[in-house]
Amino acid sequence: MTKNRRRQARELALQALYGWQLSGSALPDATEQMSQLDGWEFADQGMARELLAGVIKRSGDLESLIAPCLAGRSFAELSPVERGILYVGTLELAARPETPFKVVINEAIELGKIYGGTDGHRFVNGVLQKLAAQLRPEEFARARQAV
């Protein structure tokens, strides 16, 4: 099955964020590296650039949102993959209201299953559920009532 363009964009952003976390490269370098990754031509390139730039520019703010939801773990204890997935998911919850929170969470879970450690996707799900309730309270409440 082929991936859709948005999922491909999230994967590429995650891969670029992994490199950014390890190297501390500047946004232009990280963007250039991302554009060289396999699958770039199939991705929603605008979305990939937005996610990468948004995370790099707002990483401190995103970390401040994520940290209280980590159930006793510190942000520094997370693997670069978990941090990257949470960065992307949190940015989408905060800055891309056109994407339903359930889609954001499901996409993050899929990234966790592909790139994360054993059961890392469950941890990501729990953190992003808390963030969705906080960042999108009306949408979250409507979804809970519909169940």
Q: 57-89: buried (b, 16+ CB within 10 Å) or exposed (e) per residue?
A: ebbeebeebbeebbeeeeeeebeebbbbbbbbb
Q: How many domains does the chain have?
A: 1
pLDDT band at 1 (very low <50, low <70, confident <90, very high): very low
In this prediction, residue 2 carries a pLDDT of 53
Question: CA-CA distance, 97 to 3, in Å (whole number)?
Answer: 22
| Mean pLDDT (whole number) for 58-77 | 95
In CATH, what number is assigned to the domain containing residue 125? 1.10.940.10
pLDDT in tens, 78-95: 999 999 999 999 999 999
Residue with the two structure tokens 């401040």: 64
Give this prediction's pTM: 0.95
Give the structural domain span for 36.
5-146
